[in-house]
Amino acid sequence: MPTILITGFGPFPGAPVNPTTPLVQRLARLRRPGLGDVRLIGHVFTTSYAAVDRDLPALIARHKPDALLMFGVATREKRIRIETRARNALALLPDETGASLRRHAILPVGPAARPMPMPAAHLLAAAKGARVSSYLSRDAGRYLCNYICWRGAEAVAAEGLRLAAFVHLPPLNRTPRRRGERRRLNAADLARAGEAILMAVAAAARR
């Protein structure tokens, strides 16, 4: 039985409402015929480096997942963004606890980037098949989303996981659309895309 660990983040400065929190909770409870043989574990991280470094290894050790499906929010994004690599880069911005790692690279001596070990084209096709505007990205930023991308890719190499995927969500649309403005994604869109991506990850984890 494949096990998928689904993660998101809580609120942080600039995102008092993080759409990944309810999405992860929803996906971890999801029951579909295509997921009947899959064990789903959900976890929402406090938006801090310490939480990722403490909780991610503990979750992997406890649940021994075959795949990681990680979500984060990109506050200026309007579409779903599937990350294809993690950058060996850090911003000096503080996390939700006020802490930063006080360096510009995740590994001071290491590769410039790590590819995300997941079937990017299949995940993108799943999101688009759910009628949600989506695209592939090579830049996960330099904040906690990029950091957990890197740690997830490391876990595949070191812990024997089969794949790790990271998906950036736009913030939820909470204001009326202005004339001529492109329709922004709402909670139903994110749920539909999240379910489709999860199904694609489950299929990949079985292979």
Ordered DSSP codes for the chain: --EEEEEEE--BTTBSS-THHHHHHHHHT---GGGTT-EEEEEEE-SSHHHHHHHHHHHHHHH--SEEEEEEE-TT-SSEEEE-EEES-------TTS----SS-SSSSS-SEEE--S-HHHHHHHHHHTT--EEEES---SSHHHHHHHHHHHHHHHH--SEEEEEEEPPP--SPPPTTPPPPP-HHHHHHHHHHHHHHHHHHHH-
Residue 17: pLDDT band with limits 50, 70, 90 = confident
How many domains does the chain fold into? Answer: 1
Distances (CA, A) of 57 to 40, 159, 165, 194: 17, 9, 16, 24
Choice among 56-60, 142-146, 170-174 with the minimum mean pLDDT: 170-174
Distances (CA, A) of 12 to 35, 73, 170, 173: 32, 10, 15, 18
Say if residue 206's pLDDT is above 60: yes
Across the chain, mean pLDDT equals 92
> What's the pLDDT score for residue 174?
60
- Around Cβ 52, how many Cβ atoms within 10 Å? 22
Which CATH number do you get for residue 128? 3.40.630.20
Tell me what the mean pLDDT of segment 123-148 comes to: 96
Neighbour-count burial of 109, counting CB atoms closer than 10 A to its CB (0-12 exposed, 13-18 middle, 19+ buried): exposed
Domain that holds residue 46: 3-206
Using left for φ > 0, alpha for ψ between -120 and 50, and beta otherwise, residue 98 falls in left
> What's the pLDDT score for residue 182?
62
163 touches 201 (CB < 8 A): yes
> What's the pLDDT score for residue 177?
53
Q: Which residues pair with 180 in a beta bridge?
A: none
Residue type present at position 58:
A
Q: What does residue 62 show for φ and ψ, rounded to 5 degrees? A: -75, -45
